[in-house]
A and B are shown apart, each in its own frame.
Chain A
Amino acid sequence: MLDWIGPAMVIAAKDLRLEMRTKSILSSVGLFALLVVVVASFSFPATGAGKNGVAAGLLWMSFLFSSLLGMGRSFSLEDEEACIEGLMASPAPRESIYLGKLLANLLFIGAVEAVVLPAFLILFQLEPGRGIPLLALTAFLGTLGIVALGTLFSAMAVKTRTREAILPLLVMPLCVPIVIAAVKATETALGGAALSASASWLYLLAGFDALLVTVGLAAFPYVLDE
């Protein structure tokens, strides 16, 4: 398992270098995430008693949709110039390709979230204070789960007739538990609660993430098996 890490780092570094030069994912996905927050804030009344719940749901809709947009790009970039064949011909094991792409996706989407989250807190006049560690950990665990699913299925999606368009259809039903757990924990965090207040949701997220990454590693070689 340790020899998966090295090639995975190389693949993630390749994606980062590409992104540093083009900035295509960060700019388009970042803008999209912000747009979802702004447009959705006109659609839902985020004031009064249930404000934290509405805001938490809205934040995760933005994170989920923008992750789907970003991850769709992940393998279509590889497919365009037949890079994926190059990766498959390289000595890197298939598991490393999965881990590398997962890591790159996590970094891109994490970067987008790091920009959108403060903007969101300001726009919705939220001051979580002591809830910030819980908010950050929830964002990380939730995103990891979405990315673990999305990386597996975006490798499939590019080889279908619809290309990336099918990715949301595949990922959204499967990530229902992530959305439920992340929204609940975020709602608690926005109320200024410490980590322990949502311990069971964090365990659920962490356990589900572990399952998804394991299944992803086991299944990915079968997806890239031409």
Chain B
Amino acid sequence: MSSRVDEATAGAGDGRDVGRQTATRWRRRALGFGTLVGLGVLVWAAFAYAPQDIKQGPSQRIFYIHVPSAWIAFLAFAVVFGASIAFLATRNHRWDQVAVSSAEIGTVFTTAVLVTGPLWARPVWGVYWSWDPRLTSVLVLWLIYLSYLALRGYVVEPDRRARFSAVLGIVGFLDVPIVYLSVRWWRALHPNYVVLARGGPQMPGAMLATLMIGIAAFTLLYLYLMALRLRVERLRANDLEERP
């Protein structure tokens, strides 16, 4: 049952398969190394390179983790949406593997957004939470994908699980813009927070550069996690096939 042995022996009869697996493994390692370097540069840039915000002080630096996390969350759920449509169209279970991997990673990053946001908001806004449209939409998004993962946990039969979760992956993603719109109208009657004025404060170049490093490093991290998570799905699928 050792997964490493499974992977090594899965295509042992064919020299080309072994070669391809070795190539995949090296690509995965290169991606992992690139991610590590990217995150290292991000830590340096966020703490040493980017200037201190005059009004918010050091707490503003959480922004370099928060915004890339939000970007990855949306990217991940867009991938779930695309993979869900592709699964229903082709019935190829590879797409289901992509969808579940991306949904799990997206949920982790949404959690990171929901943790880092309030940590920043407390010193700057004075409260941990406000029912602001963006915050509320992210919270609802998080709940939708938790229910997606819960649904997967409750359906045993693989084909049915893939179909059901694909439907939820599509409906859930289409729901998000409507949630955002409705929450924005809902809050329109209340005073808005002034710190995050529309258009935002003009950002110095070093801050923008740090943010871009963050987005690039997190995108690498997403791709690396996807590669690892997909490998688990594939090994699990092979394992099921090989059992009598």
A125 to B183, CA, bound (A): 29
A173-B143 in contact (CB<8A): yes
Say yes or no for B30: interface residue by CB 8 A criterion.
no
A153 to B155, CA, bound (A): 13
Supposing A176-B140, A180-B186, A184-B186 touch, asked if A166 and B170 sit within 8 A by C-beta, the answer is: no
Binds A, one of B16-24, B156-164, B229-237: B156-164
**Which are the 3 A-B pairs with shortest beta-carbon distances?**
A177-B182, A173-B143, A160-B154
Other contacts beyond A160-B164, A181-B182, A222-B166: 16, CB < 8 A = A153-B168, A156-B151, A156-B167, A159-B155, A166-B150, A169-B147, A170-B147, A174-B144, A174-B171, A180-B182, A204-B182, A215-B170, A215-B174, A222-B88, A223-B163, A226-B160
Query: Which A206-223 residues sit within 8 Å CB-CB of chain B?
Result: 208, 211, 215, 219, 222-223
Say yes or no for A162: interface residue by CB 8 A criterion.
yes
Q: What is the CB-to-nearest-CB distance from A162 to chain B, in angstroms, rounded to a whole number?
A: 5
Chain B residues lying within 8 Å of A3, measured Cβ to Cβ, are: none
User: Would you give the 0/1 interface string for B122-147, flagging 1 where the beta carbon is closer than 8 Å to chain A?
Assistant: 00000000000000000010011001
Say yes or no for A21: interface residue by CB 8 A criterion.
no
User: Size of chain B's interface in residues, with CB distance under 8 A?
Assistant: 28
A-B contact count (CB 8 A): 81
Chain B residue, CB-CB nearest to A149: B171
A200-B88 in contact (CB<8A): no
Chain A residues lying within 8 Å of B38, measured Cβ to Cβ, are: none
A153 to B150, CA, bound (A): 13
B155-A160 in contact (CB<8A): yes
Say yes or no for B193: interface residue by CB 8 A criterion.
no
A174-B175 in contact (CB<8A): yes
Q: What is the CB-to-nearest-CB distance from A139 to chain B, in angstroms, rounded to a whole number?
A: 18
Supposing A219-B167, A222-B167 touch, asked if A161 and B156 sit within 8 A by C-beta, the answer is: yes
Say yes or no for A81: interface residue by CB 8 A criterion.
no
Say yes or no for A152: interface residue by CB 8 A criterion.
yes
A152 to B171, CA, bound (A): 10
Contact of B179 among A156, A172, A177 (CB under 8 A): A177
Chain A residue, CB-CB nearest to B87: A222
B144-A204 in contact (CB<8A): no
Chain A residues lying within 8 Å of B163, measured Cβ to Cβ, are: 222-223, 225
Supposing A152-B171, A174-B175, A177-B178 touch, asked if A161 and B155 sit within 8 A by C-beta, the answer is: yes
A223-B185 in contact (CB<8A): no
B178-A173 in contact (CB<8A): no
Chain A residue, CB-CB nearest to B162: A222
User: Size of chain A's interface in residues, with CB distance under 8 A?
Assistant: 30
B166-A159 in contact (CB<8A): no
A222 to B140, CA, bound (A): 25
Chain A residues lying within 8 Å of B183, measured Cβ to Cβ, are: 176, 180
Chain B residues lying within 8 Å of A200, measured Cβ to Cβ, are: 185
Say yes or no for B181: interface residue by CB 8 A criterion.
yes
Chain A residues lying within 8 Å of B174, measured Cβ to Cβ, are: 211, 215
Supposing A152-B171, A219-B170 touch, asked if A208 and B144 sit within 8 A by C-beta, the answer is: no
Chain A residues lying within 8 Å of B147, measured Cβ to Cβ, are: 169-170, 173
A162-B143 in contact (CB<8A): no
Say yes or no for B68: interface residue by CB 8 A criterion.
no
Say yes or no for B172: interface residue by CB 8 A criterion.
yes
Chain A residue, CB-CB nearest to B145: A173
Chain B residues lying within 8 Å of A166, measured Cβ to Cβ, are: 150-151, 154
Query: Which B179-208 residues sit within 8 Å CB-CB of chain A?
Result: 179, 181-183, 185-186
Supposing A173-B143, A184-B186 touch, asked if A208 and B151 sit within 8 A by C-beta, the answer is: no
User: Would you give the 0/1 interface string for A147-160, flagging 1 where the beta carbon is closer than 8 Å to chain B?
Assistant: 00100110010011
A145 to B33, CA, bound (A): 48
What are 6 contact pairs spanning A and B, CB under 8 A?
A153-B168, A156-B151, A166-B150, A176-B179, A184-B185, A226-B160
Supposing A174-B172, A204-B185 touch, asked if A223 and B167 sit within 8 A by C-beta, the answer is: yes
A156 to B164, CA, bound (A): 7
A149 to B151, CA, bound (A): 15
